Amino acid sequence: MNRRKFLARGAGVGVAAAVSSAGLGAAADATPIVVGQSAALTGPQAGFGIAIRDGILAALQIANRNGGVNGRPVQLLSVDDVGEKAKTEANVDLLSANPKVVGLTGFTTRPCSEAGALLAAKEGIALVGAFSGTPLLYGDKAATTFTTRASYERELDAIVRHYRFLGMQKFGFVHLEDAKSTNVPLLEKILATHGGQLVVTAGVDRKGPGLNANAIRTLEASRPDMLIILANNAPLTGFLREYAPRTLVLPKMVISFVDREKLLADLGKDAAGVGFSVVVPEYTRGKYWVVREFLAQAREMKVAVTPVSLEGFVTGLALVEGLRSARSDTRAALVEGMARVGSLDLGYTNLRFTRNERSGSRFVDLSLASRNAGIV
């Protein structure tokens, strides 16, 4: 489906429970379709949840302005899980008990997204889009989850292929400690495929400080050719402040699970030379219609423009197409509707959902923070 047909159908999906429905036109008078979100809206990981929510809302407002889904507005009911798995599980129970909630969307972090995906599969509810590329979301256990971003496996593969092409052999890996058992073997498998070697790893707490001085000395002593980082802002900022000035010439690539703009602002000059993998195009690339539509809507809503909020926008676009493809407003119908979406042309890639394909996107790009020109 191309842009013209996509927007003509009222692409996007709805307003949020926390956002006024004023000015939405005729669709606002119809019974709303409600989709639930559990995300970190407060606490150290709130930047992720707020950005994903705002991006989804941007898509929803466009849709409702164009008549909603079959004449009905779609509302986003967002509840806070503070980035904690137990609260996510309680939130999913709460949302599942609400008969108006036909689907889920916009979960954040690996523990919370995994918990949500497993419960969604158990309840037969579609979960469309989660801010995590963890492998479980792409497997059979998450049978009703439809992802809108490339997996961590694809991001790691893109990074390794790039740096192996440049002749680098020895890789270091800074990872979230609670994901070590998943992500370290994943990287080792990818390196084995491309002929690289993992020479050092270091774990950090997703809510805690960065690596201590001893861990940093271990990384430096191992002399990797480059460093891959899969960690969120809380531990990453301090670590890069300590590590970047000592070995500025060492390439460092950060996986997309990060509030990049905040990280860049916090690091200042120490951000120079830090690279990032992204699962949506840079928001400076206005040649893509999705980017243009998002920027215009974000300005209208006065929300922050980041790769994470753009990812939320893409999730919202996918969700609306699933709702439009559903033959009723039941939970089972949305699962079936997502599987009937087919291919959505976003300009930079096609999202594809069928009965045999729930991993909508394979898009990965690499960017670099320069000293004077920002992201290049």
d(CA 318, CA 310): 13
**308 pLDDT more than 80:** yes
Domain that holds residue 220: 152-278
Q: Are residues 145 and 287 in the same domain?
A: yes
- Domain finish residue from 223, 249, 278: 278
Q: Are residues 271 and 296 in the same domain?
A: no
Q: Are residues 44 and 26 in the same domain?
A: yes
Strand, helix or coil for residue 343 = strand
d(CA 317, CA 184): 33
Q: What is the mean pLDDT of residues 290-306?
A: 96
- Domain finish residue from 247, 278, 309: 278
Q: Are residues 270 and 212 in the same domain?
A: yes
**23 pLDDT more than 80:** no
> What is the model's pLDDT at position 89?
98
Q: Are residues 187 and 132 in the same domain?
A: no
Q: Are residues 16 and 144 in the same domain?
A: yes
Report residue 32: phi and psi, to 5°: -75, 155
Q: Are residues 145 and 167 in the same domain?
A: no
Q: Are residues 142 and 24 in the same domain?
A: yes
- Domain contains 371: no
Helix (H) or strand (E) holding 88: helix 85-96
Q: What is the mean pLDDT of the chain?
A: 90
- Domain contains 343: yes
Q: Are residues 47 and 183 in the same domain?
A: no
d(CA 24, CA 61): 8
Ranges 25-34, 145-154, 176-185, 253-262: which has the least confidence: 25-34
- Domain contains 90: yes
- Domain finish residue from 257, 278, 299: 278
- Domain contains 372: no
> What is the model's pLDDT at position 338?
98
> What is the model's pLDDT at position 304?
94
Asked if 203 and 175 touch (Cβ cutoff 8 Å), the reply is yes
Q: Are residues 246 and 235 in the same domain?
A: yes
> What is the model's pLDDT at position 269?
83
**231 pLDDT more than 70:** yes
- Domain contains 376: no
Q: Are residues 273 and 207 in the same domain?
A: yes
> Phi-psi bin for 110: left (phi > 0), alpha (psi -120 to 50), beta?
alpha
**235 pLDDT more than 60:** yes
- Domain contains 53: yes
List, for residues 80-129, the tens digit of each pLDDT value. Answer: 999 999 999 999 999 999 999 999 999 999 999 999 999 999 999 999 99
**Total structural domains in the chain?**
2
pTM of the shown model? 0.91
Q: What is the CATH number of the domain that holds 288?
A: 3.40.50.2300
Ranges 84-88, 194-198, 368-372: which has the least confidence: 368-372
Q: What is the mean pLDDT of residues 252-277?
A: 91
> What is the model's pLDDT at position 245?
61
> What is the model's pLDDT at position 29?
61
Q: Are residues 208 and 303 in the same domain?
A: no
210 pLDDT band, cuts 50/70/90, is confident
370 pLDDT band, cuts 50/70/90, is confident
- Domain contains 125: yes
Q: What is the mean pLDDT of residues 126-142?
A: 97
- Domain contains 374: no
